[in-house]
Amino acid sequence: MPTAFITGPAGGLGSAIADALAPTHTLFLGGRPSARLDELAARLGATTWPLDLADTDSIPTVVEPIDELDVLIHNAGASFPGRVAESTVDEWRTTMEVNVIGAVALTLALLPALRAARGHVVFINSGAGLRASPGLASYTASKFALRGFADSLRDDEPALRVTSIHPGRIATPMQEELVAYEGGQYDPSRLLSPETVAKFVAGAVNAPPDAHVREIIIRPRR
């Protein structure tokens, strides 16, 4: 089976993506070691890879054994609710390190393996990567930057497929934290489910080889 490396697999969306791809791909689950990650790997017959996107110096060594890779899915992310005046430099630094610099470092480390397979890189972006989202200053900036990196990768590596996925609000703990910051009432029934977004990811990954799905925008139906 083709291979797929997923970052942030232990979270709600990450585990849903792993479930969606398990029937068609051999999974490499890249994240910080945890019982939840081990349980997911055991259930899906996947391999875990100890990955810290904030520690970019360690990334090449971690993924060195991978010499061919069909799919790389950038799902891991950091978010600090807050408007510009409420944010701190440390929050901006962490957000950029994980959401942008970590994704760049991992892509560069795996680029030879992706080229060997004429592979596919999928970026789980956000609606905030298309339009600024109030109360998410550093997160919005990071997602705009991530979209720019995806577009540059697509232009510079024409043998690869590169997809940016921009979901609206998803029923995850990160969204629950944001709603609490906004002073609203968290109602997951009004949000996209992780499983719904994962189906779009799987659809793009499993698209026929003559198709290049470049961008997907998903919003909750109301």
Q: Which residues of 137-152 are buried (b: 16+ CB within 10 A; e: fewer)?
A: bbbbbbbbbbbebbee
Give the residue among 147, 132, 168, 167 at the shortest CA–CA distance from 214. 147
Note whether 126 and 111 are within 8 A (CB): no
Give the Cα separation of 20 and 207 in Å (integer): 14
Structure tokens at 173: 């703990």
**SS3 call for 86:** helix
Asked about 186 being catalytic, the answer comes back as: no
Q: Which among 139, 167, 198, 202 is annotated as catalytic?
A: 139
> Count of CB atoms within 10 A of residue 39's CB?
12
Q: Which residues are catalytic?
A: 139
